[in-house]
Amino acid sequence: MVEVLSGLIPERGVAAALRADASVRLDNGPEFTSRVLDQWAYWNGVVLDFTRPGKPTDNAIMEALNSRFRQECLKEH
């Protein structure tokens, strides 16, 4: 995850995507709860906003997108 995000910064920049009061909303999946991601966010001035565990309604739009993507793309292959 950190490699992908680090690769996007030179291309798009952190400030262009995030205002000072903005944050990145994440679920509590293992790819988002690592110490490395936490350090990356701190070094790049990004605020990580985690949804409450077991509450998919906190991020319903993304949960629906993930579900549809899994059904239509990932389970096909």
pLDDT of residue 45: 80
Range of the domain at 43: 2-74
d(CA 75, CA 53): 25
pTM for the complete prediction? 0.58
pLDDT of residue 35: 87
Residue 76 has pLDDT above 60, yes or no: yes
Structurally, how many domains does the chain consist of? 1
5-31 tens-digit pLDDT: 778 777 776 665 555 555 778 877 777
Between 30-34, 37-41, 51-55, 67-71, the lowest mean confidence (pLDDT) is in 30-34
Helix, strand and coil content of the chain, in percent to the nearest 5, comes to 55, 10, 35
CATH code: domain of residue 17: 3.30.420.10
